[in-house]
Amino acid sequence: MKNIILLIGFSISAQVLLAGGPWPQAKGDFYLKLSQWWVVFDQHYTDQGLLDPNITTGLHNTNFYAEYGLGSNLTAVVNAPIFSRNYSNNLVSNTTQDVLIAGEAINSVGDIDLAVKYSFATGKIPLSATLLFGLPTGKTNGGTQGNLQTGDGEFNQMISLDAGFGGGENVPWYVSASVGFNNRTNQFSDEIRGGLEAGLGLFNKRLWLNSRLQMVESLRNGATAETTTSTSIFANNSEYLSLGLEVNLNITDRMGVSASVAGALRGEIIAAAPSYSVGVFYTGK
Amino acid sequence: MKRIQHWQSIAIVLLLAVFAGCIKDDFIDDRVDPQLRIANKVDSLAINTSYQFEEVFFNNVGLAESAEVLWKSSDPAVVSITPTGLAEALAPGRALITLELDSNEKVLRDTVLVSVGETTVMQASSINGEIVTTSSYVLEGDFTLTEIDGNLELSLGDNYRATSALPGLFVYLTNNSNSIASAKEIAAVKVFSGAHSYTVENSSLSDYSYILYYCKPFNVKVGEGKIQ
């Protein structure tokens, strides 16, 4: 089961801490991960769920992620984009080759997430609850158009419930499900979030494969988008259903590397391009 | 050895961070047909008066440029015109005034039929049209563009609708609906349904050929209305 716990940690993307699974870290155990996550998109899902083009925009995050077992049932989690870069390309005339609109970029710390996970049921189907605080530590209005962002500019509080189970001795596996409510401030709409995850350990648990289905539904009880200039993944009233795949390879007993890709199966007001992540992780006591 | 492996892995991640996210070029097809227009058309001229016609030329990306044009009159005995566009109303009748430019691509031409009578009458100073979406976002409605004392008033009709989901929607006047490079920004869109209007100072009907709705953050065209 410990391997399962570690793998759940790997699955945390740069943007959400939702798909965490119900398994806590043992007291004094920790898991660290340094990763690079990025998405580059030249089209987006409109409010009709259709695809429209846009200037090529990229968001690159260097993330530090950590879990620490405060007690046998309580785990502290931090997800910190310690370096976040948002940029847009130059818009160049095909006729004159002149730069019509110069590209821009901003660099800063991204929005930091702090969370605690409490495991309140063990057994065949363990359950846990997570309380997450999303701190608005990123930039919200960079560039001359004010549309470059490394954060959404709001302090959100999300509570989520996780359940899961696993098995297999030689070929371990697990599945987990989660549901959460994300209370957002600063006129952002609240969200219902959900996720399903499954993982499989191969080659004597040295290689883990997992897949993740994540859903975000906006309650549309905040301001509409015209009051903001945000694009990319920080726009208000964004919705999506995404599917992600991840590979984790344990190089040593304590250290490994991971790579993942995720993309939206449907979306509204959200980037329409796959996101990628590569990273290194370390576990210890 | 183990420590070296750790640092190698971390270095790879950091290198990815350093080299990620370089600004590149997106190319836009912004070629349009060049346009030549008589800027100040009249329906009639008062006899024995002179009138200075003016021309405007927009190149293949919609930018205003000076050009060597040719002015002609179909009946110089009624209305004569000089190479610089100075017309003289000489006798009662009608004459077709033609403005021409022989560009490399083709001959551009604009005309106006002028009557010579007792008074000078400018052409109608109002144009009606329709805003249509060119994207997946809702944008529609009728418009009227009216020239009033050297300014333009853009009035959207009761049937106007625009999405409120799109961030940073702006309205422009332009001669190239594919780009805002040479466009005149009117305002950020704050009204998303029903009649409303904008005033554009120091502009005339001949200055622009499109109303353009453009999303600034995405740098993408949302819709347009042709000024005909």
CB contact at 8 A, B156 and B185: no
Instruction: Measure B48 CA to nearest chain A CA, in Å.
Output: 47
| Residue A284 belongs to some domain of the structure | no
Greater confidence (B157 vs A226) lies with B157
User: Quick one: closest CA in A to B24, which residue?
Assistant: A89
Q: Do B5 and A251 touch (CB under 8 A)?
A: yes
Q: CB of B193 within 8 Å of any CB in chain A?
A: no
Q: Would you state the pLDDT for residue A144?
A: 85
Pairing of strands B107-117, B42-46: parallel
- Mean pLDDT, to the nearest integer, of A4-32? 59
Which residue in B10, B138, B216 is closest to A229 by CB distance? B216
Dump pLDDT digits (tens) for A211-222: 999 999 999 998
Two structure tokens written together for B64: 């205003």
Phi, psi angle pair for A16, to nearest 5°? -135, 150
Q: Would you state the pLDDT for residue A4?
A: 37
What is the average pLDDT value for chain A, to the nearest integer?
88
* Lowest mean per-residue pLDDT among A14-23, A42-51, B110-119, B158-167: A14-23
Dump pLDDT digits (tens) for A107-143: 999 999 999 999 998 888 999 999 999 999 999 889 8
Question: pLDDT band at B9, cuts 50/70/90?
Answer: low
Dump pLDDT digits (tens) for B170-228: 999 999 999 998 899 999 999 999 999 999 999 999 899 999 999 988 888 999 999 97
**How large a percentage of chain B has pLDDT more than 90?**
77
Place of tokens 């726009």: A235
Domain ranges of chain B: 35-122, 126-226
Degrees, nearest 5: CA angle B102-B106-B108: 60
Question: pLDDT band at B117, cuts 50/70/90?
Answer: very high
Greater confidence (A2 vs A141) lies with A141
Which helix or strand (DSSP H or E) is residue A194 part of?
strand A191-202
Number of CB atoms found within 10 A of residue A73's CB: 15
Q: Is A9 left (phi over 0), alpha (psi -120 to 50) or beta?
A: alpha
List CB contacts (< 8 A) between B22 and chain A: 87
List CB contacts (< 8 A) between B179 and chain A: 91, 93, 100
Q: Do B26 and A257 touch (CB under 8 A)?
A: no
CA-based R_g, chain A, Å: 19
| Residue A283 belongs to some domain of the structure | no
CA distance linking residue B196 with residue B188, whole number of Å = 13
Domain of A265, in residue numbers = 2-277
Query: Quick one: B1 exposed, middle or buried, by C-beta within 10 A (0-12, 13-18, 19+)?
Result: exposed
Q: Would you state the pLDDT for residue A106?
A: 95
* Lowest mean per-residue pLDDT among A8-17, A143-152, B110-119: A8-17
Q: Quick one: how many helices (H) and strands (E) in chain B?
A: 1, 21
**How large a percentage of chain A has pLDDT more than 70?**
90
CA distance linking residue B80 with residue B87, whole number of Å = 5
The CATH number linked to A9 is 2.40.160.40
| Residue A152 belongs to some domain of the structure | yes
Q: Would you state the pLDDT for residue B124?
A: 76
List CB contacts (< 8 A) between A92 and chain B: 25-28
Q: Would you state the pLDDT for residue B181?
A: 87
Dump pLDDT digits (tens) for A146-167: 889 999 899 999 999 999 999 9
| Residue A221 belongs to some domain of the structure | yes
Q: Would you state the pLDDT for residue A7?
A: 32
- The answer regarding whether domain B126-226 maps to CATH 2.10.260 reads no
Dump pLDDT digits (tens) for B17-28: 656 689 999 999
Number of CB atoms found within 10 A of residue A224's CB: 18
CA distance linking residue B62 with residue B184, whole number of Å = 12
Q: CB of B18 within 8 Å of any CB in chain A?
A: no
Is it true that B35-122 and B126-226 share their CATH fold?
yes
Total number of domains in chain A: 1
| Residue A270 belongs to some domain of the structure | yes
Dump pLDDT digits (tens) for A220-254: 998 876 666 565 557 788 899 999 999 999 999 99
Q: CB of A170 within 8 Å of any CB in chain B?
A: no
Dump pLDDT digits (tens) for A75-102: 999 999 999 999 999 999 999 999 999 9
DSSP A5: H
Specify the amino acid at residue A1: M
| Residue A8 belongs to some domain of the structure | yes
Q: Is residue A252 helix, strand or coil?
A: coil
Pairing of strands A104-108, A74-88: antiparallel
| Residue A282 belongs to some domain of the structure | no
Which residue in B30, B169, B181 is closest to A226 by CB distance? B169
Q: CB of A35 within 8 Å of any CB in chain B?
A: yes
The CATH class of B35-122 is mainly beta
Question: pLDDT band at A145, cuts 50/70/90?
Answer: confident
Query: Quick one: B63 exposed, middle or buried, by C-beta within 10 A (0-12, 13-18, 19+)?
Result: middle
CA distance linking residue B144 with residue B127, whole number of Å = 6
